Amino acid sequence: MIRIGSLALVIGAVLSSPVSAQSELVERGDYLVNGILTCGNCHTPKGPSGEIRDKAFSGGTSWDQPPFKVTASNITQDKETGIGNYTDAELKQLLRKGVKRNGARVAMIMPSGFYEIMTDRDLDAVIAYLRTIKPIRNAVPEPVYKMAQEHPVPPGGESPYTEAVLSDKVQQGFYLVTIAHCMECHTPMGPQGREFATSMGAGGGKFTGPWGVSVSRNISSSKTKGIGGWTDDEIKRAITQGVSKDGSKLNPPMGFHYYATVSAADLDAIVAYLRTVPPKE
């Protein structure tokens, strides 16, 4: 009895030790960063046959657009060319508010406005995971800002969610779709920015890359133009395998190779939320 009792005590102590709490946080961060958050979709360099995995997070895609000419930063732990010198507080400020360590506003292609909603726990988890990324030395070109960078925040995503709000399935789905910045790609751009209020999920964004040109599709609940007439399984297959309802293959930058690891419960929540997006014809 005594021996069993003390063994249980020892196990209890191990389970609640700071070390295992930390490794749970890292695991959660790994799940988010390499899944729904698709950080590597921008921050990992790409070669002719896709992402260069052994250089993961060492600096990625470049954009030259009217508001900026930038390259996705090296976010490995290298102190000189990566983010090894950022403190946790500075990283939080960058991720949620879009302000860099040197005080500059990050280019608005970095979806920081979509991370304002991130729960404190998930933000801690992302940072805990980033700390485990091995340093890779790779200096990316300095950013050029051609105008003041804004920090657009999607409606409903203005402040951090609590774990309690996430117990509602549709709210959980909204949370996941927001941090995944799905609607940033799937909502048309108007003169005042993304038209979330009037055209949420209507599609129309153009993306050019080695795949040619892809145009984001209507993912509102419209039965004829959107995904309102699709089954749950068809929606999940499009998200996680990149296969449309008619069986055709989808192109990047739709992040299906990242979404492949999204859990069944999270996928259910995403579908539950997408069903509530008003139809756009």
Residues contributing to the site for ligand HEC (CB under 6 A): 33, 37-39, 41-43, 70, 72-73, 75, 83, 94, 100-101, 106-107, 109-111, 126, 130, 143, 177, 180-182, 185-186, 207, 214-217, 219, 227, 235, 238-239, 244, 250-251, 253-255, 259, 270
Contact status, residue 133 vs residue 151, Cβ threshold 8 Å: no
Query: Within a 13 Å sphere around the CA of 268, how many CA atoms are in the beta-carbon half?
Result: 5
Question: To the nearest 10°, the Cα dihedral for 39, 202, 238, 30?
Answer: 20
**Shortest reach from residue 1's CB to ligand HEC, in Å:** 50
> Which C-beta is closer to ligand HEC: that of 41 or that of 172?
41
Query: Within a 13 Å sphere around the CA of 100, how many CA atoms are in the beta-carbon half?
Result: 13
Query: How far apart are alpha carbons 73 and 266 in whole angstroms?
Result: 29
Contact status, residue 40 vs residue 52, Cβ threshold 8 Å: no
**Shortest reach from residue 20's CB to ligand HEC, in Å:** 24
**Shortest reach from residue 177's CB to ligand HEC, in Å:** 6
**Shortest reach from residue 275's CB to ligand HEC, in Å:** 12
> Which C-beta is closer to ligand HEC: that of 3 or that of 279?
279
> Which C-beta is closer to ligand HEC: that of 138 or that of 251?
251
**Shortest reach from residue 197's CB to ligand HEC, in Å:** 19
Helices assigned H by DSSP within the chain: 2-15, 18-33, 39-43, 88-92, 120-130, 169-179, 182-186, 196-199, 232-241, 256-259, 264-274
Under 8 Å CB-to-CB from 280, ≥6 apart: which residues? 199, 200, 201, 202, 218, 220, 222, 225, 226
> Which C-beta is closer to ligand HEC: that of 30 or that of 165?
30
**Parallel, antiparallel, or unpaired: how do β-strands 193-194 and 189-190 relate?**
antiparallel
CA separation, residue 121 to residues 30, 63, 75, 127 (Å): 13, 31, 20, 10
Nearest Cα to 201, choosing from 231, 179, 225, 176? 225
Residue carrying the six token digits 């946790």: 88
> Which C-beta is closer to ligand HEC: that of 6 or that of 193?
193
**Shortest reach from residue 37's CB to ligand HEC, in Å:** 4
> Which C-beta is closer to ligand HEC: that of 126 or that of 166?
126
**Shortest reach from residue 195's CB to ligand HEC, in Å:** 16
Contact status, residue 110 vs residue 39, Cβ threshold 8 Å: no
> Which C-beta is closer to ligand HEC: that of 16 or that of 248?
248
